Amino acid sequence: MTKNLVFICLTVVRFVLLARLASAAEFVFNGFDGGRSSSPLLLYADASIRSRHLVITNDSTFSLGRALYRDKIRTKLTNSSTSPAFPFSASFVFAILPVRNYRPGHGLAFLFAPSPGTHHANQAQHLGLFNRTNDGSPRNHVFAVEFDVFANPEFGDIDANHVGVDINSLTSVNAHTAGYYPDGADPDPSSFVNLTLNSGANYQAWIDYANLTLTVTMAPAGVRKPKIPLISIPLDLSDIFFEEMYVGFCAATGMLVESHRILAWSFSNTNFSAHEALITSNLPSFLPREKTSLLKSGGFVAGISVAVILFVAFSVAVALIWSRMCRKSRKGGDEESAEEWEVEYWPHRISYEEIHSATKGFSEDNLVGIGGNGKVYRGVLAGGTQVAIKCINHGSEEGVREFLSEVSSLGRLKHRNLVALRGWCKRGRGSLILVYDYMEKGSLDKWIFDCPEEAVLSWETRVRILRDVASAVLYLHEGWESRVLHRDIKASNVLLDGDMNGRLGDFGLARMQGGSQVASTTRVVGTVGYMAPEVVQTGKAGPKTDVFGFGVLVLEVACGRRPVETGKPPLVEWVWELVETNQMTAALDERVRRRGGFTEEEAGRVIRLGLMCTYPDPEARPDTRQVVRVLEGPSGERKYVEEMEEGMEASLLETWSKYYGSRKRAHPTFDELRESLNTSASLSSSDVILVGR
């Protein structure tokens, strides 16, 4: 009887998990491409795409527009009202622009709707959601979050600049004046920062639904998601959602006119970190220009400007021609013509003179680190921007050119949890200089292994950094046009900015691959202690090898131990042994334990995740998306995490018995690896195995 019950429970769990996987939906738009026929969006009425922005209304009176994701989103298992609504996370960057000669109004909304089109929707105060007849009808099955800039008494609007939650009606079930609570502030009126919705500024909104709770948060674009939401209410959407729904935006104008634009949009019903892939900085500004006097505008300024521009252009052209002639005549010069890909792709070449000046002649005072393949300097560019400058020495000109060809692609990777590559410089034969954003707090390994007791990272900060890195790896594996394998995920390659946000850096061993391909080399690559067994055995790498490296990083951060230390068992084996004796949480960093601020359950979950990621069998490891979901914990899908952990202890012990029972290490030491590699591999005196790309 007990066995039958267990079988039934496992079958139900398996069915639920398979159903959730089948219904998974996720997309990220950093700008929008295509017209009505080729766009991934369904555009209705006045909605259009201009300059890669989604423009929902035109600049005229009584305009209405709606834009929906082309495919329906699975929002429930069945249409039954008892079937719970799936969680979701949406984020978008928007701007509401005043239009000249008009007073601004009325607003835009993010919505779920059961059908496409704009049927039964009116302009003006109805925001393109409803009309006078159907407003308030339970048959609408519409959920929306409105960003409203007009106070309509008939809807009970709280003011003329608010965010509201709408269920089948424009009378909001909850609303709050637009704004945000900066991190570190108390949730009281004195710390609240008001934001004017129709100022033309770019704002980011986050709308999250999980565990029967809806949260709405907003902040100026580029500001990290505030910890205190603008709105947080208990809400059950099971009666509102059908099995499948459309998701998107709508907006409207009346006699009052404004422009409604969406610059970026992410959505996921499985990954509450999807918004991390949105680009929220260096966006176009729509803020109205200040009025100028007559002498500062008009024909006078235009004429002077044209004359100055022509003179400057002529002078620059002469200077460039003269400079090029001098370089060509200079024997043995270091500068070369631009690579073919430089014209089209970022990052571009930075002059050696500018880099030399930024580092004060590569002064030892600016030296911040020495890696396995070069030195790293701190520098300040002409505009005052701090950068990290890495000097790399390659063995051959061919190696440099091969590396540069990949820089042309890797340099286009854009994610807030990746260290941004700003540019490069080629100096002489076989010498490269890479310019990155400067990370003020340095590398993670210094904070884990080499910091005083009073500066020990809290448990919350450690988990947040792991979540940041996991989000970056997910972007590399699934979020770009080609899959990118990092192949060297470790604590020293995780850098921290001024706010202690984790960013994955050092793409010296990274490789791009298409779809389901497996990266293969004639040489083993990586760092001892972080390399998956299959890489050592076959030289082949895939996404699961990055997962293995991330698992070792998780254990490092949780346990406060390096993967390989003289006189101690390897980190992964040591934790496995503690699992065998039912002492898993004894592996936790003692300094963290003394500081507190965590639960044994949460610590166990993180350590178990590290062990799952370091399974010797790559097929048994979770994929990167699953890793992100586990790290989301309660803010993501707690039920999913709990189901994933059911029976995990037994599974871990079974794997231990299979792979470690003979006491033969599955993770070779550095000396053993040195002896086992074929002659094509080259080893440095460090623990990094260096190879051609």
Active site residues per annotation: 488
Would you call 164 helix, strand, or coil by DSSP? Answer: strand
CA max distance for the chain: 93
| Alpha-carbon gap, residue 316 to 326, rounded angstroms | 15
Instruction: Name residues whose C-beta falls within 8 Å of residue 434's C-beta, 6 or more positions apart in sequence.
Output: 389, 390, 392, 407, 421, 423, 424
Whether 204 and 278 have beta carbons less than 8 Å apart is answered as yes
Q: How far is CA 669 from CA 415, 565, 687, in A?
A: 34, 10, 10
Whether 286 and 261 have beta carbons less than 8 Å apart is answered as yes
* Residue reference for tokens 């527009």: 65
CA–CA–CA angle 346, 350, 354 (5° rounding): 150
Angle subtended by helix axes 624-632 and 459-478, to nearest 10:
150
Angle subtended by helix axes 648-660 and 571-580, to nearest 10:
120
Beta-carbon neighbour count of residue 195 at 10 Å? 18
Strand spans (E) along 328-469: 348-349, 367-371, 374-380, 386-393, 421-426, 431-437
Whether 591 and 452 have beta carbons less than 8 Å apart is answered as no
| Alpha-carbon gap, residue 564 to 668, rounded angstroms | 10
Beta-carbon neighbour count of residue 329 at 10 Å? 8
Whether 119 and 250 have beta carbons less than 8 Å apart is answered as no
| Alpha-carbon gap, residue 606 to 505, rounded angstroms | 23
Whether 590 and 579 have beta carbons less than 8 Å apart is answered as no
Helices (H), 521-568: 533-538, 543-559
| Alpha-carbon gap, residue 451 to 441, rounded angstroms | 12
Q: Per DSSP, what are the bridge partners of residue 494?
A: 504
Smallest CA-to-CA distance from 412 within 344, 503, 352 is with 344
> Is 390 annotated among the ligand-binding residues?
yes
Instruction: Name residues whose C-beta falls within 8 Å of residue 581's C-beta, 6 or more positions apart in sequence.
Output: none
DSSP tag of 591: H
| Alpha-carbon gap, residue 556 to 448, rounded angstroms | 8
Whether 154 and 146 have beta carbons less than 8 Å apart is answered as no
Q: How far is CA 620 from CA 301, 351, 359, 531, in A?
A: 69, 48, 47, 16
372: tokens are 């396995």
| Alpha-carbon gap, residue 313 to 307, rounded angstroms | 10
Question: Which amino acid makes up residue 523?
Answer: R
DSSP tag of 277: G
Residue ranges of the annotated binding site are: 390
Point out the annotated binding site for ATP: 390
